[in-house]
Amino acid sequence: MSMSILEGKKYNITTFGCQMNEHDSETIAGMLQEEKCVETLSRDEADIAVINTCSIRENADKRFFGTLGQLKKVKERNPHYMVCLCGCMMQQEHITETIKKKYPWVDIIFGTHNIDRFPKLLRDAYEERRKIMEVKEDRSDIAEGLPSKRLFKHKAFVNIMYGCNNFCTYCIVPYTRGREKSRHPEDILLEAEKLAADGVKEITLLGQNVNSYRGLDAGGQEKDFADLIYLLNEVEGIERIRFMTSHPKDLSHKLIEAYRDCRKLCDYIHLPVQSGSSRILKAMNRKYDREEYLRLVHKLREAVPNITMSTDIIVGFPSETEEDFKGTLSLVREVKYDSAFTFLYSRRKGTPAAQYEDQIPEEVKHERFNRLVEAVNSESAARNAACVGRVEKVLVEGRSKKDKGVLTGRTEGFKLVDFQGDENLIGKIADVEITEGKTFSLRGRVRQTL
């Protein structure tokens, strides 16, 4: 067999953004490993540098172009340096146009719809010594059977659907990731079984809006998200199932029942609220109001009393008044989230809200942001303090980065726990008694290993 031109090449992947992107990077790494490339932790010393971009985070453009500036310096020293850009940002034409004009030394650009083509593009770029840009609009099929080099040995991401049809007025995702497409349930089950055989105990089902999963099985029957959970609950070796992200408007009664029926479904939900003001929610096109959201939270808590809840909140959406913002603060106090991701509203070119006239001044946004973070943190601290004395099941992930003598893991509710323990606990589910609750994590001591 002839040697592949890619064999032995050192690669490095930089990932910005959400878990979807992290998982795409795992796939890219998996494909490069199959080509016998080797990973390097130094981006500057790699032969192939991949930047997987995100267009959601505040200052995403600025950070991205800053990174490009750093890559340019390496490229000047080493003309063979292969610079590859992918991810959400590459699906935006104004970005790729700027790159072509101002950063002509970039070698490969590919989009979110053709990740599977990357090894081919890379070979072409090496063999034909040319620059390649291949960004697809969208596609009707889903590339199955791609490899993955996991970030964690005992837990894995599993995509169940791609894209989003919701068009929240602030969000770029429906434009960059395209329309919703669900994988076939059999493909998902097969992947989960393979992961279990490879030692994975926990899977996180990924999708922009997992609740709207509609997969056709081989018999032509439609399975919804709750059906899928019931099926995955039967996979031997998988001990925990989580999912990200669910949209409140589509959260079904059947899914709430699945929490009760499916032992492996963790008592945890990430349920983005975005705002506590019904008027702003309407302007965001979220399709639920404050009261409906609170009713849903109540229903979940009633069915699953121990459920841990996290959320996403945006401050400073166009036209947000002090009153609207106070509505968000009071909602945070009312729901008592275990944690929350907080975002400063950021104008995304091409989205409806970017055109709205009543944009909120930066200093007002920041001032509200700080108040919000304070409220969120004080609720988190209270929720974590309330865990003290409880015995939690913790999937032990590895050693703490800060203190090598300490192990870290996650509770069913996705709370991070630090505790003293032996290395052989890694990958196991341990009973840990919680001794201290901090703002962002817990401390505990091992009781027993399962």
As beta bridge partners, residue 351 has: none
Report the distance separating Cα 132 and Cα 115, nearest Å.
14
Question: Is 54 labelled a binding residue?
Answer: yes
* Beta partners for residue 205, in sequence order: 158, 243
Asked if residue 176 binds ligand SF4 (CB under 6 A), the reply is: no
DSSP 59: T
Residue 139 near residue 113, CB atoms below 8 Å: yes
List the interface residues with ligand 5AD, window 37-66 (CB under 6 A).
56
* From 7-15, 46-54, 166-174, 252-260, span contacting ligand SF4 (CB under 6 A): 166-174
**Subset of residues 213 to 252 that bind ligand SF4, contact rule: CB under 6 A:** 247
Annotated binding-site residue? 164: yes
Question: CB neighbours of 97 closer than 8 A, spacing ≥ 6?
Answer: none
CA angle in degrees (0–180, nearest 5) for 115-121-125: 150
Helices (H) and strands (E) in the chain, counts: 13, 21
Interactions with ligand 5AD, residue window 303-332 (CB under 6 A): 312, 314
Question: Does residue 352 touch ligand SF4 according to CB under 6 A?
Answer: no
Does the footprint of ligand 5AD cover residue 274 (CB under 6 A)? yes
- Given the rule CB under 6 A, which of 125-133, 159-167, 328-336, 369-377 is the region that contacts ligand SF4? 159-167
Please report how close the Cβ of residue 373 comes to ligand 5AD at its closest, in angstroms.
Answer: 14
Q: Which of 13, 88, 106, 171 binds ligand SF4 (CB under 6 A)?
A: 171
The site that binds ligand SF4 (CB under 6 A) totals a number of residues, namely: 10
Round to whole Å and give the CA distance between 90 and 110: 7
Q: Give backbone dihedrals phi and psi of 333, rounded to 5 degrees, phi first.
A: -65, -35
Report d(CA 229, CA 258) in Å as an integer.
7
Q: Does 341 bind ligand SF4 (CB under 6 A)?
A: no
Spatial contact of 427 and 202, defined as CB atoms under 8 Å apart: no
**171 annotated ligand binder:** yes
Residues annotated within the binding site for [4Fe-4S] cluster are: 18, 54, 88, 164, 168, 171
Contact residues: ligand 5AD, CB under 6 A: 18, 56, 170-171, 272, 274, 312, 314, 343, 345-346, 348
Which residue ranges make up the site for ligand SF4 (CB under 6 A)?
164, 166-168, 171, 173-174, 208-209, 247
